[in-house]
Amino acid sequence: MKKSTPAFRLGGIRVPRGESRDIRLELSRSYTGDAISLPVHVLRGRTKGPTVFVTAAIHGDEINGTGILHEILFDTPLKLIAGTLILVPVVNVFGFETQDRYMPDRRDLNRFFPGDPTGSLTRRIAHTLFSQIVAQSDFGIDLHTAATGRTNFPNVRGDLRDKEVRRLARSFGCELMVHGRGPEGSLRREAVKAGCPTILLEAGEPCKIERGVQETGVRGILNVLSELQMIDRKPVRPPYQVKIERSVWLRAEAAGILRFHVSPGELIEAGQAIATNVSVFGETQNTLITPVDGIVLGMTTLPAVKPGEPVCHLAIPSRSLKGVRRALERTRATEFETVTPGQLSSRSIFEPRED
């Protein structure tokens, strides 16, 4: 583990233990030759411990993560007792300026890690983030939202075969843990490959800062810091937590306007109606039915569809919904129980029991 040291530096700036710094890490230059910088906040505890990075807005229009980090920076009292926390509220500063997912060269930054210092603009930016921040970190959390025209029920994603990734995912505390290494060149996949266990949060819609997503993200980050004994705080847990290894997109069968019957996070059973498709005159054309039991992981936010367009992303949990329903009955979704640090690594307290 790359324990934080008294001589921690970023972008040539030294951050002693027990202090914090706002740093602008130069990424590139504008056409006029002015510096284009990555905003980074570094917070250090007084004692040694792990280094954790949290990144947001790798896709420039996914700003819920920016709101989550603002909440931590300005509205949530955070006293780090050990280790180092590196917060990057906006990674894709180019896309953030134009509310665009992509880089100026139309590349997806989250497909080009670990980057190349002599490559394209996108590869150079990826290299700076990876070499300056990921390489100095022991753990990572990458904050994302759904793509344009969609919304996601909050879920964490990671290679759950990796013990430390699994530990982060469980401790974060979302109900749904989606297993997957991530695409080639994605930050979480390449960070894990480089020895820095990293998870990803998917939550909400692009171009928005949603209060519920903020609360989920802040709670999850604090849970992880608690699990790593970097803050003195009891973590909280959801009413249930299940592993997702399979999912399916339900697609429109006809062109028309949708009337939705379900919402993100809802538990649904095979044969249940997802949405009714009506013509422009309001005549019912067909009703989209789910063929399997599952949990609504994501949905389109655009009611007008053509045949074949995605409507509902359905997560198929590793256990039956019966246990999940019992867990929800025992604990109302708006209430969370406290647990002692370290408990969040236990399988038994999260996954619903089977009869």
Quick: pLDDT tens for 208-226. Answer: 999 999 999 999 999 999 9
Predicted local distance difference test score (pLDDT) of residue 347: 33
Answer whether 153's CB lies under 8 Å from 205's CB.
no
User: What b/e readout covers 233-269, taking b as 16+ CB neighbours within 10 angstroms?
Assistant: bebbbbbbbbbbeebeebebbeebbbebebebbebbe
Q: In which residue ranges of the chain is CATH 2.40.50.100 found?
A: 246-317
Query: What class, spelled out in words, does domain 246-317 have in CATH?
Result: mainly beta
Task: Name the residue with tokens 């229009």.
Answer: 61
Residues 6+ apart with CB under 8 A from 215: none
Q: pTM, whole model, 2 decimals?
A: 0.91
At 172 the three-state DSSP class reads helix
Question: Which sign does the torsion angle of CA 334, 340, 346, 352 carry?
Answer: negative
Q: Give the tens place of pLDDT for each residue, 54-101.
A: 999 999 999 999 999 999 998 877 899 999 999 999 999 999 999 999
Q: What average pLDDT score do residues 263-290 get?
A: 96
Of residues 319, 254, 274, 265, the one with CA closest to residue 295 = 265
* Fold (CATH) for 9-237: Aminopeptidase (3.40.630)
Cα distance between residue 275 and residue 279, in whole Å: 13
Query: Which part of the chain has CATH 3.40.630.10?
Result: 9-237
| Cβ contacts of 52 within 8 Å, gap of 6 or more | 83, 84, 85, 86, 137, 138, 139, 140, 141, 224, 225, 228, 230
pLDDT of residue 333: 43
Q: Any idea what DSSP says for residue 74?
A: I
Q: How many CB atoms lie within 10 A of CB 339?
A: 18
